[in-house]
Structure 1
Amino acid sequence: MEHEHVVIAGGGPTGLWLAAELRLGGTPVTVLETRRERDPHSKALTIHPRTLEALATRGVLEPFLTEGRRIPSGHFGGLDDRMDFGVLDTPYPFTLALPQARTEELLEEHAHAAGATIRRGHQVTGLAQDEDGVSVEATGPDGPYTLRADYLVGCDGTRSTVREAAGIDFPGNDATTWGFLGDVVLDNPPREAVSAMSGPTGGVMIVPLPGGIHRIVGGDPDGTATGHPGELTLDVLRAKVTRITGSDFGMRDPSWLSRFGNATRQAAEYRRGRVLLAGDAAHMHYPAGGVGLNVGIQDATNLGWKLAATVAGTAPAGLLDSYHAERHPVGADLLRSTRAQTALMNAYSAEGQDLRALLSQLIATVPEFSRRLAERLSALAVTYPGPAHHHPLTGHRAPNLELSDSTDLFTLLRTGRHVLLHFTGTPAPTSTPHVITHTAHRPDPRPAWSTVRAALIRPDGHVAWASEQPDAEVLRAEAHAAASATHR
């Protein structure tokens, strides 16, 4: 029987990113992916600012920026007025439009370069876990086999075999409304880069894709149904779009036609013993705002360093349990947001249209309202709970602090280790195998950071500890204690 430290079921964006994160932490990892070839149909198109930051902290962002289309705004519930991402405190104040197929290809290259083993055409079929590990039943081109692993992570989608085999509940509700999607050629496309139209007859968004294709995605009152309404045809898509917009834009030659529902579920546990869940295996929802791929990658960013430290035997007590404690609330908030957006997208009555108009006007005229929505959608607002009497920054995502003329925080995070920052101008202690220390010779001008004298940043970019202690010796002792607590 083969033995692996970590087996990941599923080679989509979440599984591939997690594999690379584990390798960054020195953990051998094998990915089992059912598909022999990458799916040419891209369910996801959007990469959000916080995900772009995660890519930047590992030094792999550049090809995404080179190939993707930058969109400086985002929508909430398909409202007419869009949120301005330019006000966000990030080096990447935009969403990036890039087909999922290409995103997966880039992430697979990253995982391979990091040393991950990826087996295509291999599927997890069952598992049995005990105190010492997990026996993973799988099948591949040569038939069934068994892997013995320290841990198994299910990144295998909403119908997760790992989740079901582990006996983890997946409570929620079935679909009650259905949207439509078509990747087609348009002979007369809209002039706008991203075109959105909505009204009492439905809503449609049209986005250009590479290769002369346009994606049409939307919903209408006909989509209300408790069961799947059947396969989408080009004639049905044409009729829907014409009814909503007054034109079919010369659509022809569909490469993909699909329907999607608003079934909403969340795993009751993100960890059960030596089995963990991430991405769509942990949460399913209506694809409002294009958040699914992003939250999956952010799950993996939170889990990767914790699981690697656990496998290495250096994790402090409770570190792996903090994955569920931190990410399950984020998933629950995601479900609330997508439900709210689904309600707005399907608000076809006169009252619903007035609600949409009111909220859209608030986005256009109340900058703080628009900014808060944008921070939520982009995941820049995600905060994890901290210990009692912690500094207000603890648990928050750290921005890309400019530390000197030659380096910044995101660059220091590329090693996948904790980063201990000293803003005192005095030499920082020597780095250790677990913590990089760095002296910043000037305070950060951001109001929340301007009085911080030292801070410890986790490998996922969130603040583990911060202090404004004026006494240099006391500050040094507190920083040493914080750094020491990162490992056993």
Structure 2
Amino acid sequence: MIDVVIAGGGPVGLYLAALLLQEGVEVRVLEQRVRRKNHSRAIGIHPPALAVLDQVGVGGAMVRAGVPIRSGTAISRGATVGSMSFATVSDRFPFVLSLPQSTTESLLEQRVHELDGSALRRGARVTHVADDGGAVTVAVAAPEVEGGGSRITARLLVAADGARSQLRSLLGIHVLSKSYPDHYVMGDFAADGDHSQEAVLYLETGGIVESFPLPGDLRRWVVRMGSPAPNVDAAELSQLVHQRTGVRPDPATNSMLSAFSPKSTMARRLVAGRAVLIGDAAHEISPIGGQGMNLGWLDAAELAPIICASLAGTAVGRRLQEYDAGRRKAALLARRQAEVNMSLGRPLAPAFLGFRNLAMGAVAAVPSANRLVARRFTMQ
């Protein structure tokens, strides 16, 4: 019997594994993907997450590999509406770090391998869970291996297998879902030289356009659409950006293209017997504002000491109840912030857009209000 099985080898599962391995816990991470996706995906890492990532020795490497975004500017109809500095949000990390998720996962996986070269098992999918009150046994399918399949028994099980969590279903945990009238297309292109390390929000009548720097002299462009647009290509996205902002990213330099329609999913409970949900398996948050992955790391940072205490023989029932309530509350706060972010990006008639821009500019001009908004945006 091993100590902990973690289902899901994404950024949250890998981080939890590193935390536990550092404490001498025997861990197996089961990841159904045979190889990591080379896709930028989630890019924003907030100061509280950087602080907990530093606990496993990867914070510095991430900062060196990424782009620190130290300020943001809102622009509308060619004029600056307001600016926001992140200088006061953290003493150690006064910025939002922009780093492709593929690099984030690579650094975390390297750390896990340093701690235990056999901890991560790829091509492994949990197909059944049995909890007898004293241990959890999972059936594992390994289709990449001829005749592959096994059973693993552990003292505890953690579900970190994402928003479509199969393990959550196997545990019989129901979710509350919420959809939104928002749709987006995003792509990564070569940077044009303007706003080099700054986030820029273009607040236009047709809807928001967001732009963020990425390592490698790239920029992420996110355009709000009026309806789902899964077939938009790089040239069409470039044209949409140009129509609303006057900036025309070069389609030939596009390295990632994706369309998405945000929703939120909240598990009704995070603890089921000897199993616990974390990350997107526990709470899916709209990616607008970049909170979801960060929220998962904060889940793991809070859960790891509880796991260690349980393995040492300490009764942790009350702490698990507090974890359940506290992390669901944190997820609700993150959802509300994401909903505010999405509402600010919806199309408005020119008169209403002008009024909103005046209000935003007035808030941005008050230093105390500016600092408060910056702290809320960075999950403080």
After TM superposition, the score normalised by the length of structure 1 is 0.71
Residue 86 of structure 2 corresponds to residue 85 of structure 1: yes
Partner in structure 1 of residue 357 of structure 2: 357
The AA in structure 1 aligned to 2:155 is D
Residue 313 of structure 1: SS of its match in structure 2?
A: coil
2:58 & 2:216 partners in 1: Cα distance?
A: 24
2:130 & 2:224 partners in 1: Cα distance?
A: 42
1:276 & 1:46 partners in 2: Cα distance?
A: 25
1:307 & 1:348 partners in 2: Cα distance?
A: 49
Partner in structure 2 of residue 100 of structure 1: 101
The AA in structure 2 aligned to 1:193 is Q
Structure 1 residue 212: Cα displacement: 4.7
Once the two structures are superposed, residues 218-248 of structure 1 have per-residue CA deviations (whole angstroms, 9 ceiling, x without a partner) of 214x23xxxx443331233133112212342
Residue 249 of structure 1: SS of its match in structure 2?
A: coil
Partner in structure 2 of residue 471 of structure 1: none
Residues 271, 362 of structure 1: alpha-carbon distance in 2 compared, 3 angstrom cutoff: farther
The AA in structure 2 aligned to 1:128 is A
1:239 & 1:51 partners in 2: Cα distance?
A: 35
Gaps of 5+ in 2: none
Partner in structure 1 of residue 137 of structure 2: 135
Partner in structure 1 of residue 119 of structure 2: 117
Once the two structures are superposed, residues 142-189 of structure 1 have per-residue CA deviations (whole angstroms, 9 ceiling, x without a partner) of 222221122211111110011111111111223432111112346x45
Partner in structure 2 of residue 303 of structure 1: 303
Residue 219 of structure 2 corresponds to residue 217 of structure 1: no
Asked if the contact 2:238/2:250 (under 8 Å) is kept, the reply is no
Asked if the contact 1:39/1:101 (under 8 Å) is kept, the reply is yes
Give the alignment's Cα RMSD to 1 decimal: 2.4
The partner residue of 2:158 within 148, 153, 158 is 153
Partner in structure 2 of residue 46 of structure 1: 44
Residue 259 of structure 2 corresponds to residue 259 of structure 1: yes
Matches within 5 A, 1:449-468: none
1:106 & 1:36 partners in 2: Cα distance?
A: 17
Residues 82, 30 of structure 1: alpha-carbon distance in 2 compared, 3 angstrom cutoff: farther
The partner residue of 2:197 within 193, 196, 214 is 193
Residue 3 of structure 2: SS of its match in structure 1?
A: strand
1:355 & 1:27 partners in 2: Cα distance?
A: 56
Partner in structure 2 of residue 369 of structure 1: 369
Residue 326 of structure 2 corresponds to residue 322 of structure 1: no
Partner in structure 2 of residue 232 of structure 1: 232
Residue 60 of structure 2 corresponds to residue 62 of structure 1: yes
Residues 339, 22 of structure 1: alpha-carbon distance in 2 compared, 3 angstrom cutoff: same
Partner in structure 1 of residue 32 of structure 2: 34
Residues 80, 106 of structure 1: alpha-carbon distance in 2 compared, 3 angstrom cutoff: farther
Once the two structures are superposed, residues 373-420 of structure 1 have per-residue CA deviations (whole angstroms, 9 ceiling, x without a partner) of 22233233xxxxxxxxxxxxxxxxxxxxxxxxxxxxxxxxxxxxxxxx
After TM superposition, the score normalised by the length of structure 2 is 0.90
The AA in structure 1 aligned to 2:232 is L
Asked if the contact 1:26/1:308 (under 8 Å) is kept, the reply is no
Structure 1 residue 41: Cα displacement: 0.6
Once the two structures are superposed, residues 198-223 of structure 1 have per-residue CA deviations (whole angstroms, 9 ceiling, x without a partner) of 21022222334334543211214x23
Residue 149 of structure 2: SS of its match in structure 1?
A: strand
Partner in structure 2 of residue 249 of structure 1: 249
The AA in structure 2 aligned to 1:16 is L
Residues 322, 107 of structure 1: alpha-carbon distance in 2 compared, 3 angstrom cutoff: same
